[in-house]
Amino acid sequence: MTTKLFWGIAAAAILASAMAGYRIGADTWPFTASKDAFHARAIAAGKSERKVLYWKDPNGQNEFSAAPKQTVDGHAYLPVYEDQEPGFAEPKAEQAKADRKIIYYRNPMGLADTSPTPKKDWMGMDYIPVYDGDDEGTTVKVSLDRVQRAGVRTQAVAMRVMERAIRVAGVVKPDERTLRAVTLRADGFLEKLYVNTTGQHVTAGEPLFRVYSPQMVSAQVDYRSAATAPGAGARDKQGALQRLKNLDVPDAVLKQLQTSPDPAMSIDWPAPVSGVVMQKMVVEGQMVKAGEEMFRLADLGRVWVIADVGEDAIGAIKTGAPAKISFRAFPGETFQGTVSFILHELEPATRTAKVRIEVANPEHRIKHEMYADVEIDAGAGDASRLVVPVSAVLDTGDRQVVLVEKGEGRFEPRPVKPGLRGDGFIEIREGLTEGESVVVTANFLIDAESNLKAALQAFTAEPAAQAETR
């Protein structure tokens, strides 16, 4: 028998024996027949040193057991120890977690789903354990690639004086403190009107009209008599002079009486103040009664803008706050004003309060009753506040959260207590410290259909899980 023939017969005999052993009822190959026994020995050897959390299906099915068991075809479930990730051999980096308790398992794709026991998702991926004390419970991780693709941008929390602009509408009114009514204290007849049009500007001392008043003429005669009558004392003269003053006779007439023996029959009545004729209620030749208003003057060198401020904003405005006013008549031009008074009551119908703003008007360009667009800086003079951009705060209605950057692609969702808003910023009263960085821009956070939970969970997909899905 040749050498080649001998080895051929030997190989055939070995193969036949192996095939016979498979058919004899073991239902497994001879060299794998001891696999279950191997696992049993491994379990027995590890019981004294390592704690088994659960047993999982050896064929990779989504089946788990709290106690040792076998599959329907007789294969033993594989043990998963406390220091192992589900479905993987024990990594060296995870040995430190051996003495830590698993509090729950989270979805590997970052979905809003957790489990108290191990499980797989619909793609067959194992849920990831979260250990007691691990920051996985409060911190979410994002791959740097995803940070760049999502457009995530952060900004430091800082102290800042907030500019809180309150924009309202207003109407121009004359300064009520400069309004002046022109009247006579005695009956008279208007012989001449020097100022005969509404809106005419007059200066103090300029004659408004010429009037003849019998009472004023009589008072002048009495004064001359008291001053020149023999035996008349100083007391009589002073009494006659006081009567003229009570009638508000102009000073020019009183001076004339000192040098002229004849009384002034007609008096040119001077304007008491400088201003604009707002109203003219008389005509030339008219008789006027004592106390009847003839003219109304106002100084328009300074005007008021009366702004209607809503009830929700009135508390932020203080007397002395600066304001910017613009008018449709002067496009592109801004006038500066100052809040001088806040009315003490609200309009019941509109729930607005009247705020008075004083504006200089030396050239009389601003006309009363003009409509004005008012911007009041309610934050002027305030102290610095701890603020973040408004876009950094995620508001669910019952709580507000910001995402604090922790470095290396980790972000911590942190509840905060917001305060005042203005100039694109919001005050943070509790929850943050100066210098921390918060997320201010990410395109998935501004999706109109997203909410806080979806926004936070969108961060949680692990880089490895993302790689498997791509």
Task: Give the separation between CA 289 and CA 129, rounded to whole angstroms.
Answer: 99
The better pLDDT of the pair 18, 357 is held by 357
Across 303-325, average pLDDT? 93
Q: Are 369 and 171 spatial neighbours (Cβ–Cβ below 8 Å)? A: yes
Lowest-confidence segment of 140-154, 285-299, 368-382, 415-429 by average pLDDT: 140-154
Residues found in the chain: 470
A 10 A CB-CB count for 10 gives: 10
Q: What percent of the chain has pLDDT over 70?
A: 73
Q: Give the per-residue pLDDT at 31.
A: 39
SS3 38: helix
pLDDT digits (tens, 9 = 90+) for 229-244: 776 667 778 888 899 9
- Is residue 463's pLDDT more than 70? no
The structure tokens listed for 116 are 């108290």
SS3 223: helix
pLDDT digits (tens, 9 = 90+) for 271-291: 999 999 999 999 999 999 999
Question: What is the CATH superfamily name and number for domain 166-175+300-377?
Answer: Efflux pump adaptor protein, beta barrel domain (2.40.30.170)
Q: Are 295 and 181 spatial neighbours (Cβ–Cβ below 8 Å)? A: yes
The better pLDDT of the pair 237, 149 is held by 237
Of 302, 295, 297, which Cα lies nearest the Cα of 337? 302
- Is residue 450's pLDDT more than 80? no
- Strand-pairing partners, residue 336, are 324
Give the Cα-Cα-Cα angle 455, 459, 462 (nearest 5 degrees). 150
Using the structure block, give the residue that is written with the tokens 């004729």: 277
Per-residue pLDDT band at 87 (split at 50, 70, 90): very low
Lowest-confidence segment of 49-58, 303-312, 344-353 by average pLDDT: 49-58
Give the Cα-Cα-Cα angle 369, 373, 375 (nearest 5 degrees). 130
- Strand-pairing partners, residue 394, are 401
- Cα 190 to Cα 183, 270, 275, 286, 309, distances in angstroms: 12, 13, 21, 5, 47
Q: Are 340 and 358 spatial neighbours (Cβ–Cβ below 8 Å)? A: yes
Q: What architecture (CATH level 2) is domain 184-292?
A: Beta Barrel (2.40)
Quote the pTM value.
Answer: 0.56
Sequence spans of domains, the chain: 1-32, 34-137, 140-162+383-469, 166-175+300-377, 184-292
The structure tokens listed for 303 are 């005007």
Task: Give the separation between CA 54 and CA 106, rounded to whole angstroms.
Answer: 17
Q: Give the chain's radius of gyration (CA, Å).
A: 48
Sheet of 52-56, strands arranged across: 64-65, 52-56, 78-81
- Is residue 138's pLDDT more than 60? no
- Strand-pairing partners, residue 309, are 353
CA-based end-to-end distance of the chain: 62
Q: Give the domain 140-162+383-469 fold.
A: 2.40.420
